Amino acid sequence: MNSAIRRLAVAAIVLMLALMANSTYLQAFRANEINGRNDNNRVRDSQFSVNRGPILIGSTPVAQSKESDDRFKYQRTYANGMVYAPVTGFYSYLFGRGGIELTMNAELNGSDPSMAFRRIIDVISNRPQQGGSVTLTLNAAAQQAAYNGLAGKTGAVVAIEPKTGRILAMASRPSYDPNQLASHDTEKVGAAWKSLNADKNKPLSNRAVQELYPPGSTFKLVTAAAALSSGKYTPETKVASPAELPLPQTTVPLVNEDGKNCGGSNNATLTIALRYSCNTAFGTVGMALGADALNEQAAKFGFGAKPLTELPAVATSQFPGDPNEPQTAQSAIGQFDVRATPLQMAMVAAGIANKGEVMKPYLVQNVKTPDLKTVSETKPESLHQAVTPQVAAQLTAMMVDVVNNGTGRPGRISGVQVAGKTGTAQTSRERPPFAWFTAFAPADDPKVAVAVLIEDANIPRNDIAGGTLAAPIAKKVMEAVLGQ
Amino acid sequence: MSIASTSVIQIIPRTRRGVELLLLVIAIAVSVAAYVNIGVTVQNAVPASTGYYAAGIGLLALIAHLALRYRAPYADPVLLPCAVLLNGLGVAMIHRIDLGLAIVAEARGKVPKGPAAPQQITWTAVGVVLFLVVILVIRDHRRLQALTYTAGLAGLLLLVLPLIPGLGVNLNGARIWIRLAGMSFQPGEFAKICLVVFFAGYLVVKRDVLTLAGHRFLGLDLPRARDLGPIGIAWVVSLGVLVFESDLGSSLLFFGLFLFLLYVSTERAGWLIIGGLLFAGGAFFAYTTFGHVHRRVTDWLDPWAIDGGQVKLGLMGQSWGGILGRGLGQGHPEATLYAQSDMIISSFAEELGLTGLIAILLVYTLIIERGLRTALGCRDIFGKLIATGLAMSFALQVFVIVGGVTGLIPLTGLATPFMALGGTSLVANWAIIALLLRISDQARRPQTPAAPVSDDTIAMAVQKA
């Protein structure tokens, strides 16, 4: 009998050990994951009583916590909130976080492992926990120019420093005021959240990175890059460019925007074809190169991979999976199922500007502790050599021609040589086409690459063209960066 | 079976009441310190009720201690301090959550509910009274053997009580409560004690039949088919609890209890295998057939899917506690549903961390192992079986409820012994401790009547030498 009792005694200890092991796994190993959940009210409550670090541009805070005398110790406030909302995101008691507030939460509230030492010191010296600061790469003047340029429109602007990948501007409109969501008046916050979500213009969406659009003619840069890289083409190579290009396997031909042939020629050079953005010429090139070559070139510019990890819900730009010949021709001009974010098209321009090397875009310049010790500093990182420096130079010359002599004229800046490409993308007859412009300047020593997308400009459809709508905004943003 | 062949008999008969008193002082000091700590962090002052709390817990513990000195001088010295510590910490945590809930209610502009801690102290007093009754009235546990079938009937009755319409209430998905005179009771807690007495008394008589006859199969001694009757009945009853009261915990507890005692009395592992298979089969049948059982399992597999689910909130609290805890009064245990009752272990894990949780589990382990130690030392089979049954019921109950709260197994409505808010469970647990102490007194008492040697006389002897 006693041996059976002894065995039960061992069994009881095994049961208790199982409980301890399970709790150890939960509280020691899974805790970080569970604490990071957006629906974790406990963590949110305690974080609301932490002096959260600021989000800075240079040394100017665009988001900071100020002492508050209501039920929480601090109130998050956003200076110029509408302008920076797509990047900073919001910090709400009821609805979690967005943008940098979400992705850099651990650094901002000081709970990141990189600040563990500092936290221990705080505990020992009985100081309250204080969060670190996050400095953005944004350029205040460029960001403001981008935001102002989009006034009254639905669209997005992204500007990148080509040599590093630093994002200088990222604007999206319609925007929202994050102060509304950060308020401690939960009723008002609830109402604001409801109306923002109900708004069909999706003000909470950061169109620069979270939405995908057909890139239209701006994608011809990728097709041109693939053509020049193949070795079978030079900028002077002539390709078939009739007013209407009959496509195999279908009765629907590919047509040029204006219904005419390419700048008066049925056999235009690549440079001329880009200058007038001739669909038939690039359709011909696309079919000759094949979908695989286009896909490969697109991937080298960043298609098919998430370009940015510092914002939530960043969309991945796509080249269609296995298009047939007419679909390949459509894809070569950025139609069919080609989809890109404005950030992606800015990366194409930036890659060409940076001698063919695409840099990984980033928004966070550095993270510092409250006593201004640098915790981390983002280093520029190369993604791909998308094209050779020679091909990049050829593409640059072609884009300069677009701005000087072609559809991109509204993007010219006096005294500075701009290289660019316009785009107009159709989706359906019911909704207005998307207007694009992507460019960089100065052409010989690029300091900024930019992509502008206008989704809906509230003007009659026949007026929409990348050149007239989008290029002036790109121009303002580039001027802001170049200090003009 | 020869008791003399085991090492258990080598106990030097000493009362150890002095050790018990010292441990009690420590247990009370820890509890009062926790209470004061909570007041200082939450209200920035030593709470005015500290005196009431300290006097209440201290006095009750002292009375229980004196009763042991008087009527069970050789009783185990560790059990009572463990129980007092768990009870005291439980009241402190209930008080802490009272404060937290009051703050939340105030912030929402509502009138806070009355505090639950004073109520729990009152129930502690009732529990200690029952403790005294057991110690003072039951002078010899063997007299309980005469009540074998009465206890069995009472246990069964208590078990089905919540099923009576108008009396039983469905709380939190399980029907294991009854409502009488405006108060809720969990009769299963007392059914447990009755059934242990019944199983023990029954098995003392039947163990020979169950042990001897049988045949070997795959190296296991299997019982005869006709002897399977009792285990069959126990199985049906426990499945009935699972299906009609939808409580996996109680079901597992009663069937497990029966199996363990069957195993101890016959020493045949075959019973465990048969019983385990039966239970697994029955539980699987219930899982596939009954929606409420199924839901418990899916809640367990993915606690995150339910918005505001108590397991989810509890797991978040435990994670928030981490290794060292937020500190008493510095977490948000009140944010978890049923933080004072079902989920109280989660509240401790949040504020005292993994460290505190493991300490509490070790105290539970001590009670279990001291109970089994009592069973080992006990000189009669009936007493052995009762001590084993009570200790193992404690082990199963702690495993089932703590396992449920920490996400190891599906959550059930069993009470966390001594800690959870709730009178029935608290009072029943005091009765269990009293029974274990009564048996241990007999087990540790010198066989030939001798004058008890107190620690003081030993100390004097040492001094003289």
Q: Which string of DSSP letters, residue by residue, matches A366-435?
A: EEE-TT--EEEEPPP-EEEE-S-HHHHHHHHHHHHHHHHHSTTGGG-BTTB--EEEEEEE---SSSPPEE
CB–CB of A19 and B398 under 8 A? Answer: yes
Give the integer Cα–Cα distance in Å for B1 and A476: 98
The CA distance from A99 to the nearest CA of chain B, in Å, is: 24
CB contact B364 to A (< 8 Å)? yes
Q: Give the pLDDT of residue A295.
A: 93
Residue A429 lies in a domain: yes
Helix, strand, coil % in chain B, rounded to nearest 5: 70, 5, 25
CB contact B389 to A (< 8 Å)? no
Q: Give the pLDDT of residue A234.
A: 93
Domain containing residue A405: 216-364+380-482
Residues of B in Cβ contact (< 8 Å) with A109:
none
Q: Give the pLDDT of residue B3.
A: 46
Question: What percentage of chain A has pLDDT greater than the value 90?
Answer: 63
* CB-nearest partner of A22 from B323, B331, B406: B406
Q: What is the CATH number of the domain that holds A265?
A: 3.40.710.10
Q: Which of B21, B129, B34, B99 is nearest to B65 (CA)?
A: B21
Q: Give the pLDDT of residue B465.
A: 47
Residue with tokens 């063997």: B142
Give the integer Cα–Cα distance in Å for B444 and A146: 87
pLDDT tens-place string over residues A144-192: 999 999 998 899 999 999 999 999 999 999 999 999 999 888 889 999 9
Q: Which chain B residue has the Cα nearest residue A42?
A: B332
Residue A266 lies in a domain: yes
CB contact B399 to A (< 8 Å)? yes
* Beta-carbon contacts below 8 Å between A and B: 128
- Residue A282, pLDDT > 90, answer yes
Residues of B in Cβ contact (< 8 Å) with A6:
376
Residue with tokens 């246990």: B155
Residues of B in Cβ contact (< 8 Å) with A1:
1, 264-265, 267, 381, 384
pLDDT tens-place string over residues B338-397: 899 889 999 999 999 999 999 999 999 999 999 999 999 999 999 999 999 999 999 999
Residue A178 lies in a domain: no
What is the overall mean pLDDT for chain A? 89
Q: Give the pLDDT of residue B252.
A: 85
Greatest Cα-to-Cα distance within chain B, rounded to the nearest angstrom: 73
Residues of B in Cβ contact (< 8 Å) with A12:
365, 368-369, 372, 391-392, 395
CB–CB of B263 and A8 under 8 A? Answer: yes
Residue A160 lies in a domain: no
* CB-nearest partner of A20 from B315, B320, B361: B361
Query: Which of A6, A8, A14 best probes binding to B when mutated, by most B CB atoms within 10 angstroms?
Result: A8
Q: Which of A397, A420, A398 is nearest to A350 (CA)?
A: A420
- Residue A265, pLDDT > 60, answer yes
Residues of A in Cβ contact (< 8 Å) with B320:
31, 35, 40, 42-43, 46
CB contact B319 to A (< 8 Å)? yes
Q: Which amino acid is at B35?
A: Y
Q: Give the pLDDT of residue A446.
A: 95
Q: Give the pLDDT of residue B2.
A: 44
Query: Which of A1, A17, A120 best probes binding to B when mutated, by most B CB atoms within 10 angstroms?
Result: A1
* CB-nearest partner of A35 from B319, B384, B388: B319
What is the SS3 assignment for A40? coil
Residues of A in Cβ contact (< 8 Å) with B6:
2
| Tens place of pLDDT per residue across chain B (465 aa) | 444 444 455 556 788 899 999 999 999 999 999 999 999 988 888 888 899 899 999 999 999 999 999 999 999 999 999 999 999 999 999 999 999 999 888 878 888 888 999 999 999 999 999 999 999 999 999 999 999 889 989 998 898 888 888 888 877 667 788 888 778 888 889 999 999 999 999 889 888 777 766 666 666 666 666 666 777 787 788 778 777 777 778 888 888 898 899 899 888 888 888 888 988 888 888 888 877 778 888 888 888 887 778 889 999 999 999 998 988 988 889 988 889 988 999 999 999 999 999 999 999 999 999 999 999 999 999 999 999 999 999 999 999 999 999 999 988 878 999 999 989 999 999 999 999 999 999 998 887 655 555 555 555 555 554
CB–CB of B267 and A4 under 8 A? Answer: yes
- Residue A376, pLDDT > 80, answer yes
Q: pTM (2 decimals)? A: 0.69
CB contact A39 to B (< 8 Å)? yes
Q: Which of A405, A417, A439, A466 is nearest to A275 (CA)?
A: A405
Q: Which active-site residues of A does the annotation give?
A: 217
Residue A79 lies in a domain: no
Q: Within 13 Å and on the Cβ side, how many CA atoms surround A326? A: 11
Alpha helices for A151-185 (secondary structure H): 178-182
The CA distance from B139 to the nearest CA of chain A, in Å, is: 24
CB contact A30 to B (< 8 Å)? yes
Q: Which chain A residue has the Cα nearest residue B402?
A: A19
Give the integer Cα–Cα distance in Å for A416 and A477: 13
Residues of A in Cβ contact (< 8 Å) with B411:
none
> Which of the residue ranges A76-80, A313-317, B108-112 would you say has the lowest mean pLDDT?
B108-112
* CB-nearest partner of A1 from B267, B357, B368: B267
The CA distance from B264 to the nearest CA of chain A, in Å, is: 5
Question: What percentage of chain A has pLDDT greater than the value 70?
Answer: 95
Residues of A in Cβ contact (< 8 Å) with B318:
23, 26-27
Structure tokens at B356: 């505190």
- Residue A240, pLDDT > 50, answer yes
Query: Which of A3, A7, A10, A15 best probes binding to B when mutated, by most B CB atoms within 10 angstroms?
Result: A15
How deeply is A453 buried, as exposed, middle or buried, from its count of CB atoms within 10 A (0-12, 13-18, 19+)? Answer: buried
CB contact A3 to B (< 8 Å)? yes
Q: Give the pLDDT of residue A87.
A: 95
The CA distance from B319 to the nearest CA of chain A, in Å, is: 4
Query: Which of A42, A45, A185 best probes binding to B when mutated, by most B CB atoms within 10 angstroms?
Result: A42
* Beta strand A364-368 pairing with A357-359: unpaired
Q: Give the pLDDT of residue A41.
A: 79
Strand partners, A221: none
The CA distance from A209 to the nearest CA of chain B, in Å, is: 29
Q: Give the pLDDT of residue A94.
A: 83
B46 vs A19 pLDDT, higher one = A19
* CB-nearest partner of B399 from A19, A31, A46: A19
Give the integer Cα–Cα distance in Å for A282 and A218: 12
Residue A22 lies in a domain: no
Residues of B in Cβ contact (< 8 Å) with A31:
319-320, 322
The CA distance from A442 to the nearest CA of chain B, in Å, is: 53
CA distances from B150 to A155, B155, B162 (A): 82, 8, 20
Q: Which of B242, B92, B227 is nearest to B163 (CA)?
A: B242
Q: Give the pLDDT of residue B448.
A: 61
**Which residues of B, range 98-157, sit inside 8 Å of A by Cβ?**
107
CB–CB of A13 and B260 under 8 A? Answer: no
CB–CB of B107 and A71 under 8 A? Answer: yes
Give the integer Cα–Cα distance in Å for B282 and B238: 9
Residues of B in Cβ contact (< 8 Å) with A96:
none
CB contact B262 to A (< 8 Å)? no
CB contact A14 to B (< 8 Å)? no
Residue A401 lies in a domain: yes
Residues of A in Cβ contact (< 8 Å) with B276:
none
Confidence bin at A129 (pLDDT 50/70/90): confident
CB of A150 closer than 8 Å to CB of A189: no
CB contact A127 to B (< 8 Å)? no
Say how many domains are in chain A.
Answer: 1
